[in-house]
Amino acid sequence: MLILSLVFGLPDEEFVTARLLQNPGDFEEALRPFYGEENAANFADLLTAHLTIAKELITDSMAGNTSAAADAERRWYENADQIAAFLNSINPNWSVQEWKKMLYDHLAMLKTEANDIMSQNFEDSINIFESIEQEAMEMADVMARGIVRQFEQYFRI
């Protein structure tokens, strides 16, 4: 929704952005019982950076500011590396390599979707959205499996 709001200058951009930025807090709340306040907050900070860098990348791309867009994309992938390393540091069942692959795939798909929308290639943007949604569900499954494996005592398996 944010990509559409940014590309088409929709009046809901402020509201869509605010809603999107609730997600890191939701993750923080979900992770806190397992990983504590500090780790949950660190993950929320990394996820917030992920979302704000994505917004920068889209805004800079739309403005034709290729150097700023390239810098944002570089920072976006660095953030993905940080997320993967952080997740592995709090749960040995979460592989750095697996998370990097999933996150890199996710970022590439989001960039493709944004480019498709900016170039008004709407059919392809809808198709890539389905892939993004599927990838997000797979990431959720990996996260859930890792938590269950690490904290078996809390789950009936």
pLDDT of res. 58: 96
SS (HEC) of the chain: CHHHHHHCCCCCHHHHHHHHCCHHHHHHHHHHHHHHHHHHHHHHHHHHHHHHHHHHHHHHHHCCCHHHHHHHHHHHHHHHHHHHHHHHHHCCCCCHHHHHHHHHHHHHHHHHHHHHHHCCCHHHHHHHHHHHHHHHHHHHHHHHHHHHHHCHHHCCC
Q: Is the pLDDT of residue 156 over 90?
A: no
pLDDT of res. 82: 98
2-52 pLDDT, tens per residue? 999 999 999 999 999 999 999 999 999 999 999 999 999 999 999 999 999
50-94 pLDDT, tens per residue? 999 999 999 999 999 999 999 999 999 999 999 999 999 999 999
